[in-house]
Amino acid sequence: MAAEARQRYLSQKAATAAARLEAAERAYQEGDIKVASMLYIRTALSRPKNAATDQAKQRLTQLAEEARQKLKAIDEKLAGSESLLSPSEALAPGGPPSPEKLAARLADRVAAAFDEYKELSRTYDKVPKAGSEIKTHIAKQRRQPHFAAVLNEPEAKALVQLAQQHEQEDSPCCAYWVYQQAAKLAPAPSALQAAARFDQMQQDPRIVAAAERCRKLQECHKLYKRAEMLFKAKPVRALELFGEIVDRAPQDSEVYRAAHEQIAGIR
């Protein structure tokens, strides 16, 4: 929003295409590529066409190529242009670093590279063609299994820890759904661990039944809160929601009884 506001301010000050081009060049020199690109676009679209509009189009082409070169540089880092293991470490008396340390280095490198991707996308997102190309490329890179495994691991690990805590607290029904959620983050190592545990839990009919009951209760509690909010303004809709709860909630549950009482009271 700040970039858009600055672009509007500079555009208002610049009465001609030449003045806008000058403002764009100044923003670029100051390192504000986002504002510069927006000013170049506005200049390029100015009418009538003149030397300033033509130059603005050329500058946008140059910006696009500049962005692509920076994107290529990040790709090269991820492709392993810099070895995880230095020659001195490989020949060190104590031997090379442990696999755990090398894995940590890889995780740091991947995370840093994707931070660079994010910043590059933010900076050049207004540049025609290049902005969309960068977003598409980043999404493709993120889907690469060896990158996804690293990027998804922190979230997957946190979910597994939460699921294990639920199990320790004798709440397997809650753990069941958290393991399922974590498993979706495969191929992260913790996600694979979660998938294995989820498969084990699926073999126990008691856990599956408890988990399904838990899911229904959670959904019904959400519906109940929504119905309460709508009760005064839209009583008919609230009645419909209470009816849904009665249809879906276990009959021995508190939310079932509460919804049933609400329906009786409304009618």
- State pLDDT tens for residues 83-102: 554 444 444 455 455 667 76
Buried residues in 227-264 as b, exposed as e (16+ CB within 10 A): beebbeeeeeebbebbbebbeebeeebebbebbbebee
Single-letter code of the amino acid located at 17: A
This prediction's pTM = 0.72
Listed as own residue / partner, the contacts of 98-104 with beta carbons closer than 8 Å and 24 or more positions apart are none
* The residue to which tokens 């691991």 are assigned: 153
* Dist CA 104 CA 156 (whole Å): 16
pLDDT of 11: 53
Query: Nearest-CA neighbor of 165 among 152, 179, 185?
Result: 179
- Count Cα neighbours of 225 within 13 Å in the Cβ-side half-sphere: 5
In which residue ranges of the chain is pLDDT below 50?
Answer: 9, 81-82, 85-92, 95
